[in-house]
Structure 1
Amino acid sequence: MIKQNPFTSPLFTNIWSKHFNHNNPIYKFNFITNISFNKPLFLSLYINIGKNLTKGISYFINEDFKILDFKKKVILIYDVPKYFNIKDDNLPKRIKKIKIKQYPGFLIHLENYKDINDYLSKNFSKSSKQKFNRYKSRLEHCFDIKEKMLIGNIEKSEYDFVFNHFKELLTKRFDDKQIVNNNLNPKEWNFYYEVVYPLLLEKKAALYVIYNGETPICVRLLYFSETIIFDAITVFDIDYTKFHIGKISIMKMLEWSFKNDFKIFDFSKGYFDYKESWSDLRYDFEYHLFIDSKSITSIILGNTIAFLLKFKQYLREKEINKTLHKLTYILRRRKTYSDTLIKEISINEINYKQNQLEPIKLDDKHAFLKKYAYDFLFITKEHFKNLKVYKVNNQLNTIYLLEVNEHIKILSVTI
């Protein structure tokens, strides 16, 4: 059980309530402590503050409670990690508790390892470790890479700069996947923007950033308890896919975690291949329902909610939610540069003279070329400063030429 949960802190609670509870009353019950509730319906249903925007809710059962304030009510708590091992042995018979499986979660028990090298040796093969180091070396060789943990006394202007790039990278990532991402819902994103900065100042949250020059190319949003790091939202620039920045950032984060004596690195809820690869424990998130077993109204309402949540989980396990996210994206679809058709062609397929080459920059106008240019740098092991990009004039199709120290790649582009 954790004592300093960032998701039940007054700061998190008050800002969430401002955005999603419209400053309506916040409720507490005397048999359950360290957690607050809102009442979203006319029914006697109470849902934890934070709802599904937390990465792990914890609470305590009060041994000296009286249940006078819980009669005929139902409590629903989202996102309780099973490994929190919340004790409920002292609940009275009148209160019935139902646990319902939710998303899978993944974590690393840092206390089982001496340091990052010990962790890597025990969880990955020698060849995998060599690949990780090669990706890191190649990234640092091809670009002007630096990293920073934004935590504590950070200027608001710096925070805004990174958070704006954070949103751009997430938008770009999910446009490429062609699915919606709930974090980018304006209401949710505005909440994250407002809550993270004050938590960052209190060292209960941080933004880990990898930069190419002055531009963020990887951002991880982290929350902290006294012993746990919650990896909340992570994204990297997909133009750098060849360099495996996701793996590099995980190694860097784990290195930082060991140095700062954290016991658990929690990848949080939701399945991704990388989480399974890097974790040493898979666990379940749960919904926790509390029902007044002497109230017919509470029994009917509680069991109806339990049925709906179990059905929702069944649909999730059948990946119906992924289909819905894709359909929603199609309905909201907007044209992006991922729609650009790019094909690599051989130098023999075009005829050009030197005076037909028009030098161009890899700016926003030519952003669709960046991934191919960076892949080219990865293969040639050359630095970005040596890359030259040309547009070939007098061609039936639009042709671009990438050149770096006598290496050439030619691309045929249809937008």
Structure 2
Amino acid sequence: MNSSPFSSKTYTNTWLKHFHLKGHEISFSFLNGTSFYKYPLFPIYINVGRNLTKGITYTLETEEITGVIKNKVLLIYDVPDYFTINHGLPNRKFTIARITQYPGFLIDLKLFTDLNNFMVETFSKSSRYKLNKFKKKLESCFNIKYKMFYGQISEREYNTIFDQFENLLRKRFLQKETTNNNLDPKEWTFYKEVTYPMILENNAALFVTYNGDQIIAVTLNYIHNNTLIDAITVFDIDYSKFSLGSVNILKLIEWCLENKFDKLDFSKGYFDYKKRWCNLEYKFDYHLIYNKKALLPKAIAFTIKKYFIAKQFLRDKKLNERFHEFYFLVKNRSIKKNIPLGFNLQELSKPYTEFQLKEISILESRNDYLKKALFEYLYINNESISNIRVYKILNSEKTYIFQGRDVTTKVQLER
């Protein structure tokens, strides 16, 4: 079994530095694929990375384990059930309990030769038309570039990408009015520190979409054997009219097929888009390895199982989502919600020389409130943003002119 990115020294050492500074890495000779740290007070040993990995795989040796773990309980988070793992324990006193937690979704690409072949075999003609239309519209209206940073990236460019990555995530979840665990300062600092060296080691990759020099979508990926694991992905919500999220997935599939990757794994957690794109669903289990004949580890394992079963019950009832929404409201109660302006587009059939106009730059952040209307105009008229001039009508409140190559439109912003 090839080494998992989550068992690499870079990953484990960085994780321990951020989340278990006073502890140390513990390995067990009978178990290969992950290391552990000790939970305070109780003889519980948890895999390094805990719930921040996107899948732990391990194998068991056939040696006697009685003297190795004795009364210890080993807890391994997020074991995907599609991996073939040797679960045989040589001593019948010991057992592996599996606790099903999150659903997982992936695209098995082994049967496809290229992106077109995948599209034909996966989607109906009408769905293919829509997806291709979104991609063509996006690329004709903007100066779109795609780049996968895998194996090499300058530290300066990396920092620029990761800072914008964070900004886009904050913008996205501010719009959704819910919290995102990845944006917890401690967690995000870990991701930023660990990803750069993992890219250089070919254990991680950043897929970035640009509009000119502006970063509009980022996906953090991990690499495990021939699998690309989509860990965290975000796109600029201003481009949602162009279905940028779907275009991003198309380009990831294309990259995988061109580079001989046979799986694109969306990892754990349910989202509609994962269900729509995947051709294989699986489960993430938590594994408990313990002595079922000994009272203490048996009691500990029983308690842990009941705890995670209760958590999954609450998750099934979507109480975790309600908690995140409530926590967002409490944390951000002082932030005035930025309600997007509505707008009305009216094509002009006559010259607009009678208006008193002032040209403005859509590239300036102070004019971001116009983007939704402008992108709607670009999408409808298939205009390139490079051909657009934007004017403010000075004697009319919240009224603008979009002048393109073929179509000139009057824009009235509305609350």
TM score, norm. by length of structure 1 = 0.93
Query: Equivalences for 1:189-228 in 2 at 5 Å?
Result: 189-228=188-227
Q: Conserved in 2, the CA contact under 8 Å of 1:110 and 1:262?
A: yes
Task: Give the corresponding residue for 2:378.
Answer: 377
Letter in 2 for 1:292: N
* CA offset digits 1:255-285 (Å, max 9, x no partner): 1111221121111111111111111011111
What percentage of residue pairs aligned between the two structures are identical? 41
Check whether the contact 2:179–2:327 (CA below 8 A) recurs between aligned residues. Answer: yes
Partners of 1:122 and 1:340 in 2: how far apart?
Answer: 39
On the 8 A contact 1:399/1:413 being kept in 2, the answer is no
Which residue of structure 2 lines up, in the alignment, with residue 24 of structure 1? 23
Question: Could you say which residue in structure 2 is the equivalent of 1:361?
Answer: 361
Specify whether residues 66 and 40 from structure 1 end up closer, same or farther in structure 2 by C-alpha distance, changes over 3 A only.
closer
**Residue 394 to residue 285, structure 1, CA distance change in 2 (3 Å):** same
Any conservation in 2 of the 1:238–1:371 contact (CA below 8 Å)?
A: no
CA contact (8 A) 1:28 1:37 kept: yes
Q: Deviations over 1:55-87 (max 9, x none)?
A: 010111111243213112211111111101322
Q: How does 1:343-354 map to 2 (within 5 A)?
A: 343-344=343-344, 354=354
| Aligned twin of 2:389 | 388
1:406 deviation in Å? 3.3
- Residue 339 of structure 1: CA displacement? 2.2
1:399 aligns with 399
CA distance, structure 2, for counterparts of residue 268 and residue 12 of structure 1: 18
The two structures, once aligned, show a CA RMSD in angstroms of 2.0
Aligned-pair CA distance for 1:4: 2.0
Equivalents in 1 of 2:32, 2:197: separation in Å?
24
> Any idea what SS the aligned residue of 1:134 has?
helix
1:84 is the counterpart of 2:83: yes
**Deviation for aligned residue 1:309:** 0.2
Q: Deviations over 1:29-72 (max 9, x none)?
A: 23322211112321111111001111010111111243213112
For residue 111 of structure 1, give the secondary structure of its aligned residue in structure 2.
coil
**Cα distance in 2 between the residues matched to 1:245 and 1:283:** 26
CA distance, structure 2, for counterparts of residue 14 and residue 274 of structure 1: 34
CA separation in 2, counterparts of 1:127 and 1:163?
36
Q: How many Å apart are 1:240 and its aligned residue?
A: 0.7
Q: Distance in 2 between matches of 1:75 and 1:113?
A: 40
* Cα distance, 1:152 vs structure 2: 1.4
Structure 1 residues 355 and 346: CA distance shift in structure 2, 3 A: closer
- Measured in 1, the distance between the counterparts of 2:31 and 2:104 equals 24
**How many Å apart are 1:354 and its aligned residue?**
4.2
Which residue does 2:156 correspond to in 1? Answer: 157
Instruction: Kindly indicate whether the alpha-carbon contact (under 8 Å) linking 1:26 and 1:36 is maintained by their aligned counterparts in 2.
Output: yes
Deviation at 1:27? 1.4
1:61 maps to 60
Unaligned runs of 5+ residues in structure 2 are none
Distance in 2 separating the partners of 1:198 and 1:221: 13
Instruction: State yes or no: 1:107 paired with 2:106.
Output: yes
Could you tell me whether the CA contact under 8 Å between 1:107 and 1:280 is conserved in 2? yes
**Structure 1 runs of 4+ with >4 Å offset:** 345-348, 352-355
In the alignment, the residues of structure 1 paired with residue 117 and residue 355 of structure 2 have an alpha-carbon distance, to the nearest angstrom, of 57
Q: What is the CA–CA distance in structure 2 between the aligned matches of 1:9 and 1:323, rounded to whole Å?
A: 36
Q: Secondary structure at the match of 2:375?
A: helix
For residues 366 and 74 of structure 1, the distance between their equivalents in structure 2, rounded to whole angstroms, comes to 57
2:355·2:393 contact (CA, 8 Å) conserved in 1? no
Length, aligned pairs only? 409
Q: Does 1:127 align with 2:126?
A: yes
Runs of at least 5 residues in structure 1 that lack an aligned partner in the other structure:
none
Q: Distance in 2 between matches of 1:40 and 1:368?
A: 49
- Indicate whether 1:167 and 2:166 are aligned: yes
Show the counterpart of 1:48: 47
